[in-house]
């Protein structure tokens, strides 16, 4: 694996470790009688939403005091709305955890004035798992292989959320690096809508997390309605050994650099964070320790299909447990 990608993970892991250092002084029931709110910056049913609902359902057993957990959605502007809301409006008490695409930080550094955050001041909790981008096409597109895509007489339409998300940035980098015929269709509020656009034929394809699509599109891929034709990672995923890597089509050093950026920047796409100024000794360190315990015991089973996606089925929770708010959406100002 490319060294910079390893270094990026090491930096994130170190930040999470430092955030969780101050633990000894915490009361055992720091979360008792409190509500822990997860806010997802995208619409219900997408990858981030499914991961978050699954985590919210199970994380209580790893938190002192087993707080009530709720999940809300604040979609819009490719995650910028929720990032700005967390940074500028959320009280720094550790009781609100936001989910938004980390490459928005790069967008801010590159001059996107709509993003009102400083990534150095955000309290990073951790990530649910890896993100390996693969490009999928529906049957109607006529794209059954990478050769079909390269030789397409028309630009194929790719559904996307917006800049700063892998669904948008990675295809753009693929186009720049490999001169692929593609047209971005942006503005979907989440991965679920982007997938539905592919299924309905509104667009031809989607470049998204294999860890997510192997679950969401399991039956469609088995039936041949959806095909994976390209991996945007630098190393082949064990499930996709017969699918070509984009890096193998690069003809110049510049193209290879762009594809490394696509892999490195978006490899850890889904971090969870708390607002600036959240004291680690209060709540942050508990969440930082509970998240890896929860994901270790839930996400792998979800990816294998052993766990029902939390956005599709949720039993009535007992008092004090997770209370799903599947369709609630809050408006938030930038």
Q: What is the DSSP letter of 237?
A: -
Q: What pLDDT sits at residue 91? A: 95
- For residue 73, the cross-strand partners are 40, 329
Average confidence (pLDDT) over 53-68: 93
Is the pLDDT at 319 greater than 80, yes or no?
Answer: no
Average confidence (pLDDT) over 279-301: 78
Is the pLDDT at 223 greater than 80, yes or no?
Answer: yes
Number of Cβ atoms within 10 Å of the Cβ of 208: 32
Mark residue 9 as left, alpha or beta (left: phi above 0; alpha: psi -120 to 50; beta: remaining).
Answer: alpha
Write down the residue that tokens 């015929």 correspond to: 181
Residues 6+ apart with CB under 8 A from 272: 38, 52, 97, 98, 99, 124, 125, 126, 127, 128, 287, 291
CA atoms of 332 and 334, how far apart (whole Å): 7
Is the pLDDT at 7 greater than 50, yes or no?
Answer: no
Q: Count of alpha carbons within 13 Å of 3, Cβ hemisphere only?
A: 0
Specify the pairing of strand 182-185 against strand 156-159: parallel
Write down the residue that tokens 């060294």 correspond to: 3
Which tokens in the block code for residue 197?
């656009």
Q: Count of alpha carbons within 13 Å of 182, Cβ hemisphere only?
A: 32
Q: What pLDDT sits at residue 276? A: 95
Nearest partner of 75 among 50, 46, 54, judged by Cα: 46
pLDDT by residue (tens digit) across 62-121? 998 999 999 999 999 999 999 999 999 999 999 999 999 988 988 888 899 999 999 999
3-state secondary structure of 36: strand
Q: What pLDDT sits at residue 102? A: 85
- Whether 273 contacts 92, CB under 8 Å: no
| Domains parsed from the chain with CATH numbers | 3-129+270-329 (3.40.190.150), 133-266 (3.40.190.10)
- Whether 63 contacts 322, CB under 8 Å: no
CA atoms of 133 and 301, how far apart (whole Å): 20
pLDDT by residue (tens digit) across 125-148? 988 888 899 999 999 999 999 999
Mean pLDDT of the chain: 83
Alpha helices in the chain (DSSP H): 3-19, 47-58, 80-88, 104-109, 146-150, 166-178, 191-200, 210-216, 218-222, 253-266, 285-304
pLDDT by residue (tens digit) across 295-317? 887 876 766 654 444 333 333 33
CA atoms of 328 and 307, how far apart (whole Å): 23
- What angle do helix axes 3-19 and 253-266 make, rounded to 10 degrees? 20
Q: What pLDDT sits at residue 284? A: 60
Q: What is the pTM of this model?
A: 0.78
Which tokens in the block code for residue 225?
């309605």
CA atoms of 108 and 102, how far apart (whole Å): 11
3-state secondary structure of 98: strand
Is the pLDDT at 280 greater than 60, yes or no?
Answer: yes
């Amino acid at each position: 694996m490319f060294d910079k990608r390893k270094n990026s993970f090491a930096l994130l892991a170190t930040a999470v470790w430092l955030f969780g250092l101050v633990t000894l002084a915490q009361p055992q029931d720091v979360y008792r009688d409190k509500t822990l709110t997860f806010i997802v910056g995208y619409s219900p049913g997408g990858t981030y939403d499914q991961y978050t609902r699954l985590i919210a359902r199970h994380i209580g057993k790893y938190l002192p005091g087993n707080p009530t957990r709720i999940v809300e959605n604040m979609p819009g502007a490719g995650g910028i709305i929720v990032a700005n809301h967390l940074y500028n409006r959320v009280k720094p008490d550790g009781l609100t955890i936001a989910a938004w695409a980390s490459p928005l930080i790069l967008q801010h550094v590159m001059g996107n004035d709509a993003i009102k955050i400083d990534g150095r001041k955000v309290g990073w909790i951790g990530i649910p798992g890896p993100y390996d981008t693969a490009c999928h096409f529906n049957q109607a597109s006529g794209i059954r292989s990478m050769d079909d895509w390269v030789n397409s007489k028309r630009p194929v339409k790719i559904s996307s959320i917006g800049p700063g998300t892998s669904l948008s940035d990675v295809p753009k980098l693929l186009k720049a690096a490999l001169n692929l015929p593609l047209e971005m269709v942006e503005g979907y509020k989440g991965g679920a809508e982007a997938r539905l656009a592919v299924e309905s034929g509104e667009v031809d394809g989607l470049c998204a997390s294999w860890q997510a699509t192997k679950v969401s599109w399991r039956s469609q891929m088995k039936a041949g309605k959806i095909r994976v034709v390209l991996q945007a990672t630098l190393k082949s995923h064990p499930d996709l050994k017969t699918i070509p890597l984009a890096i193998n089509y690069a003809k110049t050093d510049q193209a290879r650099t762009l594809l490394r950026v696509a892999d490195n920047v978006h490899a850890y796409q889904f971090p969870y964070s708390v607002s600036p100024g959240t004291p680690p000794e209060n709540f942050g360190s508990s969440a930082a320790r509970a998240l890896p315990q929860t994901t270790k015991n839930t996400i792998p089973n979800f990816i294998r299909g052993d766990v029902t996606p939390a956005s599709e089925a949720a039993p009535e929770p007992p008092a004090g447990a997770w209370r799903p708010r599947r369709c609630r959406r809050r408006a938030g100002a930038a």
